[in-house]
Amino acid sequence: MVKRIAILGSTGSIGRNALRVIEALGDEYEVAVLTAHSNVKLLAEQVKKFKPKIAVVTNPEKFDEFKTLAGGGKTEILCGEKGLVTAAAAADVDIVIAAIVGAAGLEAILSAAKAGKTLAIANKEPLVIAGELLTKIARENNVKLLPVDSEHSAIFQAIQSGNPKEVNRIILTASGGPFRGATAEQIQNVTIEQALAHPTWNMGKKITIDSATMMNKALEVIEARWLFDVPVEKIEVLVHPESIVHSMVEFVDGSIIAQMSEPDMCLPIQYALTFPKRVKGITKHLRLERIGKLTFEKPDMEVFRALKIGYQVAQTGGTATAVFNAANEAAVKEFLEGKIKFVNIAELIERCLDKHKVKTNATLEDLLSADKWARNEVKECLKRKI
Ligand SMILES: NC(=O)c1ccc[n+]([C@@H]2O[C@H](COP(=O)([O-])OP(=O)(O)OC[C@H]3O[C@@H](n4cnc5c(N)ncnc54)[C@H](OP(=O)(O)O)[C@@H]3O)[C@@H](O)[C@H]2O)c1
């Protein structure tokens, strides 16, 4: 039977790779929904090529431009956050690939889960903000949560060689980013260009900065906690600069199962779509003799403070993770606009968390209000010069 796919964020790095994967998979997969925020030129090209049932433009200012560019095909065109939420739950969709960046994807993921869609999740921020809520809705609606993040795909694959109850430890690998091995002093004055120069992965700007601060790994610790229902104490991070071992699972008998491949997001995207089957894909096969050596080291959590804060926040839970994520999103935006220094990102996150009164048993409203508060608090901190 044909699988009908919605790609939320089809113009992004994950979205574009997902389209390459679907194209290569052939007739069993069909593109049903495509969405973008502002890149309406690319979205229009994608719509003309893949002819989805629905296309969504979330930025209302770009709606008219998109209509003109898309021409008069049969694709239904929706607008704004409301259109995104509707499209994520559309009747003609089997699998939703969540590939929007940041908290902006939260309501659409919840909508897809409530509608019982299989969710292939790249967009980790909603799991960080509302992991408890999302996993609860998924359980209630019998929804499969399939990881697309390469580390979580690796864990998902490795965990299948045992029973989840037999897991002793999850070892999340991290490339270490462009500043691996740097001292606190050396990262004081790094530039935007240096922070965007990731050594192994080619990704969107926000996640690339998150990799440089190691915030990305902190978000992934929380993501893993919810996806695999393991306590945070059982999740460790190891820096592995070759980015060949995408993560590992240690079982109670001491066996460690690792998943390895070339660093190419097409593989985890494909596995989420074909699961539980494996098929030949477009990812180049790994030749270990060409890699030669695989190395691992402990991360320096004093230099990469976001990771240390992430562990604390993961333990606290409640609205703390929403503040953690939102403060980071706001700070990364300021950094990319050249308004703050690289090291200010972790500083701003800490300031917001220090000031926030955590609410446990948080509802969606609590989480959204914590998110809004943190974004505003970042602005206030900047007015006060942090
Ligand atoms: N890139 C990777 O290799 C990778 C690996 C693992 C996990 N992830 C995760 O996957 C997610 C996507 O990352 P990415 O690197 O693909 O990001 P990206 O290249 O920046 O693409 C983001 C996508 O989201 C859309 N978008 C941006 N703001 C939006 C808003 N306010 N409302 C609705 N849509 C919006 C963008 O539309 P426009 O293009 O129109 O702006 C684009 O389609 C992130 O959560 C990231 O952490 C990425």
Residue 4, ligand 1, Cβ within 6 A:
no
Q: Is the fold of 3-143 the same as that of 152-383?
A: no
Q: Which of residues 200 and 125 earns the better pLDDT score?
A: 125
Q: Which atom of ligand 1 is nearest to 10's Cα?
A: 43
- In the reported structure, the alpha carbon of residue 98 is separated from the centroid of ligand 1 by a whole-number distance in angstroms of 9
Residue 287's pLDDT is: 97
The model's pLDDT over 293-314, given as tens digits with 9 standing for 90+, comes to 999 999 999 999 999 999 999 9
Kindly report, residue by residue over 146-170, the tens digit of the pLDDT.
999 999 999 999 999 999 999 999 9
For residue 182, what are the contacts with CB-CB under 8 A and spacing of at least 6?
A: 303
> Is 79 close to ligand 1, i.e. is its CB under 6 Å away?
no
99 lines ligand 1 (CB under 6 A): yes
pLDDT value at 72 more than 90: no
Annotated domain spans of the chain: 3-143, 152-383
Determine the residue of 14, 34, 85 to mutate for testing ligand 1's pocket, defined as the one with the most ligand atoms within 8 A of the Cβ atom. 14
Residue pLDDT, tens place only, 177-208: 999 999 999 999 999 999 999 998 899 999 99
Q: What is the pLDDT of residue 386?
A: 77
Mean pLDDT to the nearest integer, 216-231:
97
**Separation of 126 CA from ligand 1 center, angstroms?**
12
Is the Cβ atom of 207 under 6 angstroms away from ligand 1?
yes
Q: Tell me, what's the pLDDT at 143?
A: 98
| Predicted confidence (pLDDT) per residue in 315-366, tens digit | 999 999 999 999 999 999 999 999 999 999 999 999 999 999 999 999 999 9
- Count the neighbouring beta carbons within 10 Å of the beta carbon of residue 61: 9
Q: What's the CATH class of domain 152-383?
A: mainly alpha
Q: Is 58 in the pocket of ligand 1 (CB under 6 A)?
A: yes
Average pLDDT, the chain: 97
15 C-beta closer than 6 A to ligand 1: yes
Amino acid residing at 215: M
In the chain, pLDDT over 70 holds for what percent of residues?
A: 100
Tell me the CATH architecture of domain 3-143.
Answer: 3-Layer(aba) Sandwich (3.40)
- Quick one: what percent of the chain has pLDDT higher than 90? 97
63 close to ligand 1 (CB < 6 Angstrom):
no
Residue 40 CA, closest ligand 1 atom number? 40
Which pLDDT value is given to residue 385?
81
Q: Is residue 149 lining ligand 1, measured as CB closer than 6 Å?
A: yes
Give me 270's structure tokens: 């494909």
Residue nearest to atom 21 of ligand 1 (CA): 12
Quick check: CB of 120 below 6 Å from ligand 1? no
- Mean pLDDT for the stretch of residues 114-119: 98
Residue nearest (by alpha carbon) to ligand 1 atom 31: 104
The pLDDT tens digits of the residues spanning 81-113 come to 999 999 999 999 999 999 999 999 999 999 999
Contact 136, 157 (CB under 8 A): no
pLDDT above 90 (res 71): no
Ligand 1 mean position to 123 CA, how many Å?
7
37 lines ligand 1 (CB under 6 A): yes
